[in-house]
């Protein structure tokens, strides 16, 4: 039996048949170009609609002598200062990798679901958050910064001042980890670690994170 390839090779078409097939092929190809462009367009619109515009409020970045920062480092540091001031937004948190980590003496929050809840939780927990001072000490990886903050617990009026050593770890242009070391250290030991992980798992069940930019704006963010 002759192969299909040799059979097709010997098959002849009339000019009208060839013309019809050519036009049909063009019509079939045209929609494919549209379908290739549509996902990219939709993705761009979805990103803008879902997270809103990046608006950094902390623009006056204080640095130690000899520490020079790139424009992107200033954006990242400003966004982190905003977060510690209780001014989160979905757009600011898009500067973080999905599997990034936030750690302080109270929590070890890994992954977007956990760390976003921690940042939005500040608005729930505190009636006042005042930045008393900050200074960027190093522009390496991690970026190192001193931060002094005053917190007032909502409903109780109890005031707490915290001096922190902040470390911001980057992977490419994204934040992969932020460590908040109160008085320069983090707790050690299995019991402390267990409570910190429990906190990370519990807070997302208590604190609601906005689903889109519209909800974010209603909370006074953006």
Digitized pLDDT (tens) for each residue of the chain, 222 residues in all: 444 344 333 444 344 444 443 444 444 344 333 333 333 333 333 345 689 999 999 999 999 999 999 999 999 999 999 999 999 999 999 999 999 999 999 999 999 999 999 999 999 999 999 999 999 999 999 999 999 999 999 999 999 999 999 999 999 999 999 999 999 999 989 999 999 999 999 999 999 999 999 999 999 887
Neighbours of 6 (CB within 10 A): 9
pLDDT (0 to 100) of residue 171:
98
pLDDT (0 to 100) of residue 54:
95
In b/e form, how buried is each residue of 41-58, taking b as 16+ CB within 10 angstroms?
eeeeeeeeebbbeeebeb
pLDDT (0 to 100) of residue 44:
34
Nearest to 164 by CA among 139, 190, 122, 135: 135
Using CA atoms, how far residue 60 sits from 81, 155, 204, in Å, is: 10, 31, 32
pLDDT (0 to 100) of residue 6:
41
pLDDT (0 to 100) of residue 49:
62
Instruction: Pull the structure tokens for residue 112.
Output: 């977007």
């Amino acid at each position: 039996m002759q192969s299909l390839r040799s059979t097709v090779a010997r098959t002849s078409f009339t000019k009208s048949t060839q013309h019809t097939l050519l036009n049909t092929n063009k019509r079939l190809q045209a929609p494919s170009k549209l379908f290739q462009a549509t996902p990219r367009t939709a993705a761009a619109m979805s990103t803008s609609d879902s997270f809103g515009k990046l608006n950094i409020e902390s623009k006056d970045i204080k640095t130690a002598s000899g520490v020079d920062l790139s424009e992107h480092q200033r954006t990242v540091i400003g966004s982190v200062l905003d977060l510690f001031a209780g001014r989160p937004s979905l757009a600011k948190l898009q500067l973080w990798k999905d599997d990034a980590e936030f750690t302080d003496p109270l929590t070890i929050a890994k992954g977007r679901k956990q760390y976003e809840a921690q940042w939005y939780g500040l608005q729930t927990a505190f009636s006042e958050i005042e930045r008393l001072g900050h200074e960027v000490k190093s522009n390496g990886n991690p970026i190192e910064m001193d931060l002094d903050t005053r917190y007032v617990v909502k409903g109780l009026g109890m005031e707490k001042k915290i001096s922190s050593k902040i470390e911001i770890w980057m992977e490419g242009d994204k934040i992969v980890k932020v460590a908040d070391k109160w008085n320069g250290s983090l707790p050690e030991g299995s019991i402390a670690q267990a409570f910190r992980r429990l906190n990370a798992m519990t807070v997302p069940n208590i604190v609601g994170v906005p689903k889109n930019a519209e909800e974010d704006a209603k909370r006074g963010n953006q």
